[in-house]
């Protein structure tokens, strides 16, 4: 078996498992954040659920660690009260990013399983553990039963061959991989990383790469733990930890040999993480702000690299540099090592540990027309504010903040670039222009088709993160697709009974349940797509919201607003307007059972 197959088998009633098997998995760590946590509490109360094991149950507050938003403050208090009542541990707003905390506290280590409402929970692959982001229904069940159902994924092996260039960071490695595989080539695969240079990667570097597995569409990127990882986890867990490794005869769907010596410094252009280019193509692009942090690059090694670049230098006039360590322990370490003084002397703004700009609840957001260079994992439109976001390594962001434009450490100018009055006026004009503006259950449905010919429609496009504090499903429909260009008025124009037809990787990104529930609130009957983000697929199935997968629409001759019929049990899709039929995938036994049951509960 592969690594993920072994971990799943070890936590199930089966000795062996294979791709496609749907099994119940015992979960070692069940967590929810201040985003998603209140809905978990809501499910518990509505369904009179009991808690399986308080010692394995946690809340982590990281999306709004300042408690600066009133709705988040209310939701955090709901979670605090619930944790007190149930007697389990809560990592409050002074702690930092939950996925990092679980590793730091020795709760997650090689071979364990963990679920949380964070779509980057697959970061646990950095230590050779199984981690998955899931919606609040799944997490409520995990709290209640201690287990969740999961479909065993196929596995892919990536061998990084050759020698790693000295100037290539872990962020550059994952951006080069994104350039090679895009957002959906590895969709729903478990990826194992091997190679001489892979074995040398530190924990912090592994976390950076594993964190962006979500942006590559993978279930998880798993690193076989080396001695350094095993020693770290053993110390944190207070016991000797052994790793889980693939068998010599394990089956991989694909094996890729990729020459790391050919990797270059890269940035992701605004709009999509996989829109990667050699940094040369973006050099000299003037910036307004820089952000260093997130679960991808908020580690102590990242902070030290940034301090090395900033030491004795100043952030360019007119540029604001925002720095947020991932955990409070790392924040304290920065203080002890004198790194905080370097940051402040350079003119950077430093905030308390947490997700920061990635979660819309703390420093790191930008405004219309603003150009930001960020170490985050996502730059979807609207994700980090209303401006444009480039993704890059910590060294590149620090160098760019000093220069006033995108550049590398070895090309920092003696004098920074500054904006002329004409450029400032043009940016103001750009900012103005960019300012944002229930159906009966049945197994055969008919409706008007919204045919949206786009891949990679992410959860921020479906339901923007500025609405995440909304917990009432009746309020969600009005915001569906309001961040998808060209479909901002979808909620006003859609009719109950409509069916949405899209292309690859629908629902990529966050674990937010609202990205499913907003369609339910509007009375949309189904989503039809070539493929889905893994977390979105689970959330939809568990919410009894019909999603149908097709291999090709060729032969359906579909046009916008054609009337179509879908048979969930047979998988047949018929274009009633053209009298043409194709075969899609029927509901699986599990999906049909949950759908007929009206939901996972």
Per-residue pLDDT band at 382 (split at 50, 70, 90)? confident
Both 339 and 219 in one domain: the answer is: no
Q: Using CA atoms, how far apart are residues 242 and 165, in angstroms rounded to an integer?
A: 31
Distances from the Cα of 439 to the Cαs of 36, 168, 498, 525, in angstroms?
25, 52, 10, 7
421 and 483 share one domain: no
- The yes-or-no verdict on residue 156 having pLDDT over 50 is yes
Which of 433, 462, 496 terminates a domain? The answer is 433
Please indicate, yes or no, whether residues 294 and 400 belong to a single structural domain of this protein: yes
Residue 434 has pLDDT above 70, yes or no: no
Q: What DSSP string describes 495-549?
A: -TT-EEE--SSBTBS---THHHHHHHHHT--EEEES-B-HHHHHHHHHTT--EEE
Overall domain count for the chain:
3
pLDDT confidence band for 327 (50 / 70 / 90):
very high
Model confidence at 297, pLDDT cuts 50, 70, 90, reads: very high
Q: What are phi and psi of 3, to 5 degrees?
A: -60, -50
The Cα 488–Cα 482 span in angstroms is 4
pLDDT at position 431, please? 62
Residue 542 has pLDDT above 70, yes or no: yes
pLDDT of 440: 45
**CB atoms < 10 A from the CB of 433, how many?**
8
The residue among 284, 46, 301, 358 whose CA lies nearest residue 171 is: 301
The dihedrals phi and psi of 97, each to the nearest 5 degrees, come to -70, 130
Task: Based on the fold, state whether residues 208 and 284 are members of the same structural domain.
Answer: no
Q: Of 219, 239, 262, which marks where a domain is finished?
A: 262
d(CA 123, CA 247): 23
164 is a domain residue: yes
pLDDT at 50 over 90: yes
Q: What percent of the chain has pLDDT over 90?
A: 82
Q: What is the DSSP letter of 91?
A: E
Residues 6+ apart with CB under 8 A from 301: 202, 204, 205
Q: What CATH number corresponds to the domain at position 205?
A: 3.30.499.10
Question: In which band, very low, low, confident or very high, does the pLDDT at 439 lie, cut at 50, 70 and 90?
Answer: very low
Choice among 8-17, 99-108, 188-197, 457-466 with the minimum mean pLDDT: 457-466
Looking at residue 435, its pLDDT comes to 47
- Pick from 208, 315, 284, 192: which is nearest to 243 by CA? 192
Q: Does residue 258 sit in the same domain as residue 273?
A: no
| Claim to verify: residue 197 and residue 334 sit in the same structural domain | no
pLDDT, tens digit (0-9, with 9 covering 90-100), for 468-522: 888 888 899 999 999 999 999 999 999 999 999 999 999 998 889 999 999 999 9
SS3 breakdown of the chain: % helix, strand, coil, rounded to 5? 35, 20, 45
Looking at residues 80-98, what average pLDDT do you find? 95
Q: What is the pLDDT of residue 361?
A: 58
pLDDT tens-digit profile of 547-595? 999 999 999 999 999 999 999 999 999 999 999 999 999 999 889 989 9
Q: Record the pTM.
A: 0.84
Q: What percent of the chain stands above pLDDT 70?
A: 96
Residues found in the chain: 601
Is 278 found in the same domain as 208? no
Query: Could you give the angle at which helices 328-336 and 300-310 cross, rounded to 10 degrees?
Result: 40
Same domain, 71 and 103: yes
- pLDDT over 50 at 226, yes or no: yes
In this model, does residue 436 exceed pLDDT 50? no
Tens digits of residue pLDDT in 307-321: 999 999 999 999 999
- Averaged pLDDT for residues 147-166: 97
Under the banding of pLDDT at 50, 70 and 90, the label for residue 63 is: confident
Note whether residue 328 is domain-resident. Answer: yes
Clarify whether residues 97 and 211 are in a common domain. yes
Structural domain span for residue 76: 3-262
d(CA 283, CA 293): 22
**pLDDT(360) > 80:** no
Q: How confident is the model at residue 73 (pLDDT cuts 50, 70, 90)?
A: confident
Asked if 358 and 384 touch (Cβ cutoff 8 Å), the reply is yes
pLDDT for the residue 358: 76
In a domain, 438, yes or no: no
Question: Per residue in 109-126, is it b (16+ CB within 10 Å) or e — as a string?
Answer: bbbbbbbbbbbbbbbbbb
Q: Which two tokens stand for residue 195?
A: 């190679």
Calpha distance 594→601 (Å, rounded): 8
Task: Flag whether pLDDT at 131 surpasses 60.
Answer: yes
Strands 29-33 and 113-116: parallel
Any domain includes 58: yes
At 21, the pLDDT band (50, 70, 90 cuts) reads very high
Of 178 and 425, more confident: 178
Whether 194 is covered by a domain: the verdict is yes
DSSP-based three-state secondary structure for 574: strand
Q: Is the Cα dihedral 403, 407, 408, 414 positive or negative?
A: negative
Average pLDDT over residues 335-354: 96
Q: Which residue has the higher pLDDT, 536 or 385?
A: 536
Q: Is residue 66 part of a domain?
A: yes
Distance CA 561, CA 564 (A): 9
Q: What CATH number should be reported for the domain holding residue 543?
A: 3.20.19.10
Q: Are residues 22 and 162 in the same domain?
A: yes
Q: pLDDT category, 236, cuts 50, 70, 90? A: very high
Domain boundary, last residue among 211, 243, 262? 262
322 touches 356 (CB < 8 A): yes
346, 349, 353, 358: CA torsion to nearest 10: -120
Residue 439 lies in a domain: no
User: Where do we find the tokens 């009298």?
Assistant: 579
User: Does residue 155 sit in the same domain as residue 16?
Assistant: yes
Provide the mean pLDDT of the chain: 93
**How far is 549 from 531, CA to CA, in rounded Å?**
6
- 189 and 215 both lie in a single domain: yes
- 563 within domain boundaries: yes
- ∠ CA 117-191-510 to the nearest 5 degrees? 25
d(CA 360, CA 383) in angstroms, rounded, equals 8
């Amino acid at each position: 078996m592969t690594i993920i197959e072994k971990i799943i088998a070890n936590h199930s009633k089966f000795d062996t498992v294979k791709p496609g098997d749907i099994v119940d998995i015992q979960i070692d760590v069940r967590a929810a954040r201040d985003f998603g946590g209140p809905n978990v509490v809501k499910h518990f109360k509505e369904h009179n659920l009991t808690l399986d094991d308080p010692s394995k149950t946690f809340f982590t507050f990281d999306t709004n660690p300042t408690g600066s938003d009133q709705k988040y403050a209310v939701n955090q208090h709901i979670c605090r009260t619930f944790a007190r009542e149930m007697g389990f541990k809560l990592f409050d707003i002074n702690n930092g990013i939950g996925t990092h905390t679980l590793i730091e506290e020795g709760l997650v280590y090689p071979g364990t399983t963990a679920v949380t409402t964070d779509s980057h929970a697959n970061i646990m692959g950095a230590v050779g553990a199984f981690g998955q982001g899931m919606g609040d229904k799944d997490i409520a069940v995990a709290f209640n039963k201690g287990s969740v159902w999961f479909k065993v994924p196929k596995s892919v092996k990536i061998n990084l061959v050759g020698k790693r260039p000295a100037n290539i960071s872990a962020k550059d490695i994952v951006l080069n991989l994104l350039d090679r595989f895009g957002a959906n080539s590895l969709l729903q695969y478990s990826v194992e990383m091997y190679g001489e240079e892979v074995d040398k990667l530190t924990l912090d570097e592994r976390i950076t790469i594993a964190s962006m597995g979500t942006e590559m569409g993978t279930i998880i990127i798993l690193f076989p733990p080396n001695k350094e990882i095993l020693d770290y986890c053993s110390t944190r867990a207070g016991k000797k930890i052994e790793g889980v490794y693939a068998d010599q005869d394990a089956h991989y769907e694909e094996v890729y040999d990729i020459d790391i010596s050919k990797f270059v410094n890269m940035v992701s252009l605004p709009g999509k993480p996989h829109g990667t280019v050699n940094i040369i193509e973006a050099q000299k692009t003037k910036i307004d702000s820089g952000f260093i942090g997130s679960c991808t690059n908020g580690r102590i090694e990242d902070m030290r690299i940034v301090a090395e670049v900033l030491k004795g230098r100043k952030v360019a006039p007119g540029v604001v540099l925002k720095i947020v360590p991932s955990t409070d322990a790392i924040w304290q370490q920065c203080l002890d090592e004198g790194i905080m003084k370097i940051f402040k002397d350079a003119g950077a703004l430093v905030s308390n540990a947490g997700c920061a700009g990635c979660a819309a609840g703390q420093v790191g957001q930008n405004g219309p027309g603003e150009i930001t260079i960020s170490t985050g994992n996502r730059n979807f439109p609207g994700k980090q504010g209303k401006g444009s976001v480039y993704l890059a390594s910590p060294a590149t962001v620090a160098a760019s903040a000093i220069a006033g434009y995108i550049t590398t450490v070895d090309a920092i100018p003696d004098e920074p670039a500054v904006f002329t009055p004409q450029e400032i006026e043009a940016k103001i004009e750009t900012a103005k222009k960019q300012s944002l503006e229930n159906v009966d259950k049945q197994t055969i449905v008919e409706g008007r088709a919204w045919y949206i010919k786009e891949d990679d429609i992410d959860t921020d496009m479906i339901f923007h993160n500025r609405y995440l504090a909304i917990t009432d499903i009746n309020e969600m429909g009005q915001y569906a697709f309001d961040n998808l260009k060209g479909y901002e008025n979808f909620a006003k124009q859609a009719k109950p009974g409509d069916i949405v037809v899209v292309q690859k990787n629908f629902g990529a990104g966050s674990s937010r349940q609202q990205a499913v529930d907003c369609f339910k609130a509007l009375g949309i009957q189904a989503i039809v797509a070539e493929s889905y983000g893994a977390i979105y697929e689970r959330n939809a199935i568990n919410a009894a919201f019909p999603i149908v997968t097709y291999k090709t629409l060729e032969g359906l001759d579909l046009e916008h607003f054609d009337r179509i019929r879908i048979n969930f049990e047979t998988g047949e899709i018929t274009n009633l307007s053209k009298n043409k039929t194709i075969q899609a995938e029927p509901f699986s036994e599990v999906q049909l059972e949950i759908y007929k049951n009206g939901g996972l509960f």
